[in-house]
Amino acid sequence: MNIYREISELQKELLEINQKSSSVGFVPTMGALHQGHLALIEKAKQENDFVICSIFVNRIQFNNIEDYEKYPQTENKDIELLKEKNCDIIFIPTEKEIFPNIDNFFFNFENLDKVMEGKFRQGHFSGVVKVVKCFFEIINPDRAYFGEKDFQQLTIIKEFAKQNFPTIEIIACSTVREFDGLAMSSRNVRLTEEERKVAPFIYKTLKRVKEKKINETVNDIKQWVIKEIDSQQFMSLEYFEISSSLTLQPIEKWEDSKNIVACIAVFVGNVRLIDNIIIEN
């Protein structure tokens, strides 16, 4: 397994890989790796000759400087985990290496960024697509792997790649959860013991939403979720939406869309967690 910190060094190996016509799978991450990330690596290993994982905490996608500064960094452990998974290449660039390659390009999100994460984290998706564009240009993989855990991000990247990198296939990977249903997240380590105990309530609530769909209206369920989450100790709801999983626009009635996803963002103490559940596909 080779580790590169410079674009030019990485590209030398990529050139050799290209000359052999081998396929390349790319897994972008911000490090502090857990089983959710490793599931992406495993899938990429199954489907490609070479797998590259990047670790880069992308400052320009953070709307909250404290969240950025407190973002966990565990580089040595990450390298060990990737070695165990037989990842072929790790790319760990510095900002100095990446930022000069980020251009001020404009992507028309077509309203995909006006809701949920985009609404509450101003500039977040613009920062995400800028860095993804930069990595896609450097690596030009055959396939890139993204988690359903960040459902809105996945939807935006699919649209972004369709318009700008039509040869790169975007592969979605299911959310990996802890034994008690909590979606794995690098931020989970920041929860206190007591907060960690209540955090699985988020996914429990999402599962109830799916059950309730049979005989309750969209609006009734939304009101119910607001009450449920806000009545929990340590929890404060930022948003809960029931939306089309294609356009991400909120629906008012179940008949409004055939593809439905419920998405949630909750502060558990100071830690902001997101999760989602597919209601209908």
Report if residue 135 touches ligand AMP, rule: CB under 6 A.
Answer: no
- Contacts with ligand AMP: how many residues (CB under 6 A)? 17
Report if residue 147 touches ligand AMP, rule: CB under 6 A.
Answer: yes
The active-site residue out of 34, 37, 133, 272 is: 37
Q: Which of 30, 138, 202, 262 is close enough to bind ligand AMP by CB under 6 A?
A: 30
* 177 DSSP assignment: B
Taking the least distance from each CB to ligand AMP, the nearer of 48 and 186 is 186
Reduce the DSSP state of residue 121 to 3 states and report it. Answer: coil
Report if residue 25 touches ligand AMP, rule: CB under 6 A.
Answer: no
Q: Cβ of residue 276: shortest distance to ligand AMP, in angstroms?
A: 11
> 14-32 in b/e burial notation, b at 16+ Cβ within 10 A?
beebeeeeeebbbbbbbbb
CA separation (Å) from 269 to 70, 71, 215, 231, 254? 14, 16, 33, 14, 33
Distance CA 152, CA 241 (A): 12
Distance CA 161, CA 155 (A): 10
The residue range among 86-94, 145-153, 222-230, 231-239 that interacts with ligand AMP, by the rule CB under 6 A, is 145-153
What does the block give as tokens for 190?
Answer: 């920041």
Taking the least distance from each CB to ligand AMP, the nearer of 155 and 218 is 155
Report if residue 130 touches ligand AMP, rule: CB under 6 A.
Answer: no
Taking the least distance from each CB to ligand AMP, the nearer of 39 and 261 is 39
Tell me whether residue 37 is one of the annotated catalytic residues: yes
Q: Cβ of residue 149: shortest distance to ligand AMP, in angstroms?
A: 4
Distance CA 170, CA 255 (A): 29
Ramachandran quadrant class, 116 (left: phi over 0; alpha: psi -120 to 50; beta: rest): left
Q: Cβ of residue 147: shortest distance to ligand AMP, in angstroms?
A: 2
Query: Hey, which residues between 154 and 193 contact ligand AMP (CB under 6 A)?
Result: 173, 175-176, 183-186
Instruction: Give the residue from 155, 153, 113, 107 showing the smallest Cα distance to 130.
Output: 107
Report if residue 143 touches ligand AMP, rule: CB under 6 A.
Answer: no
Locus of tokens 């500039």 = 123
Contact residues: ligand AMP, CB under 6 A: 29-30, 36-37, 39-40, 146-147, 149-150, 173, 175-176, 183-186
Residues tagged active-site: 37
